[in-house]
C-alpha cells in the first residue's frame, strides 16, 4: 500500500513496527511463548533500553492513546516493564502540554520509609493501565484489583502490540480482558499491521507464510 493512502492511525502503526524491528525489539525466528506456542515472531519491549528509544516509544504511546479518545486522569504501570513505560508516556504527555500524574507498584510491600505497595502519585480518579502486551491477562487483573482497592477506577488499558491471538478460550487475550473487566484496550499496532508491513519489505517477506500459518492456528480475526 502506498504510504500516501494510509490513515494517520495506520501510518503510526507502520512506523512503530519499523522502529521496533530497527531496535530488534521485534524479531523473527522461532520463539516459545508463555502459552507454550512456537511463534515465528517475538516482541520484547524491554529492549527499548536507551534514552532515545524510550523517548520515541513514549511518543508512539502518546499518539495511540490520543487517537483512541480514552479519557483518564492518571497513568499506572505495573512492575516491572510498566514502570519505565508509564514514565516515558508521562514525559511524552508533558511535552505535548498535558502534565499527568503516574504511579507504579512494588512487587513486595515496603515496611520502612513511606511503606506500601504504590510508588509515585496516589491512585485516584480514572486510571489508565500501561503495559507492553497482553498474554494471559494476569498483569491487568492484578492492576485492576490494586487500583480498585485504593479507591480509584481502572478505565482502560494501553499496550504496544496486540498479538491478536487466542487467550484461554476462543477470544483473544485482549478480548478476554475487555470482556472480563469491561475495559477498552488500545494498542499502537497489532498482528494485522505487522503482516501489512512485512509483505512490503523484500528482506522480511520470507517470514510472511510462517506468520500467516501461526495466525491461522492461533489467531483471532478482530
| Grid cell at residue 152 | 480509584
- Is position 112 annotated as part of the catalytic site? yes
Q: Which of 95, 98, 110, 179 is catalytic?
A: 110
Helix H or strand E segment including 90: helix 81-95
Distance CA 128, CA 93 (A): 13
Judged on CB neighbours under 10 Å (0-12, 13-18, 19+), 210 is: middle
Tell me how crowded residue 164 is: count the other CB atoms within 10 A of its CB.
22
Contact 121, 166 (CB under 8 A): no
- Nearest partner of 183 among 215, 134, 148, 144, judged by Cα: 144
56 is an active site residue: no
Orientation angle between helical segments 191-198 and 208-218, nearest 10 degrees? 160
Residues known to be catalytic: 110, 112
Amino acid at each position: 500500500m502506498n504510504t500516501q493512502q494510509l490513515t494517520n492511525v495506520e501510518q503510526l502503526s507502520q512506523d512503530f513496527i519499523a522502529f521496533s524491528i530497527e531496535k530488534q525489539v521485534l524479531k523473527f525466528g522461532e520463539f516459545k511463548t508463555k502459552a507454550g506456542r512456537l511463534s515465528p515472531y517475538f516482541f520484547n519491549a524491554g529492549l527499548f533500553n536507551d534514552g532515545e528509544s524510550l523517548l520515541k516509544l513514549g511518543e508512539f504511546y502518546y499518539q495511540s492513546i490520543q487517537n483512541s479518545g480514552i479519557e483518564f486522569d492518571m497513568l499506572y504501570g505495573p512492575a516491572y516493564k510498566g514502570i519505565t513505560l508509564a514514565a516515558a508516556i508521562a514525559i511524552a504527555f508533558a511535552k505535548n502540554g498535558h502534565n499527568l500524574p503516574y504511579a507504579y507498584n512494588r512487587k513486595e510491600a515496603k515496611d520502612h520509609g513511606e511503606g506500601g505497595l504504590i510508588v509515585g502519585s496516589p491512585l485516584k480518579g480514572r486510571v489508565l493501565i500501561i503495559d507492553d502486551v497482553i498474554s494471559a491477562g494476569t498483569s491487568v487483573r492484578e492492576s485492576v484489583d490494586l487500583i480498585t482497592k485504593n479507591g480509584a477506577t481502572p478505565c482502560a488499558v494501553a499496550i504496544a502490540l496486540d498479538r491478536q491471538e487466542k487467550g484461554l478460550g476462543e477470544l483473544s487475550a485482549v478480548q478476554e480482558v475487555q470482556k472480563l473487566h469491561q475495559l477498552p484496550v488500545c494498542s499502537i499496532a497489532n498482528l494485522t499491521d505487522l503482516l501489512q508491513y512485512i509483505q512490503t519489505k523484500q528482506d522480511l517477506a520470507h517470514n510472511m507464510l510462517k506468520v500467516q500459518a501461526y495466525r491461522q492456528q492461533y489467531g483471532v480475526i478482530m
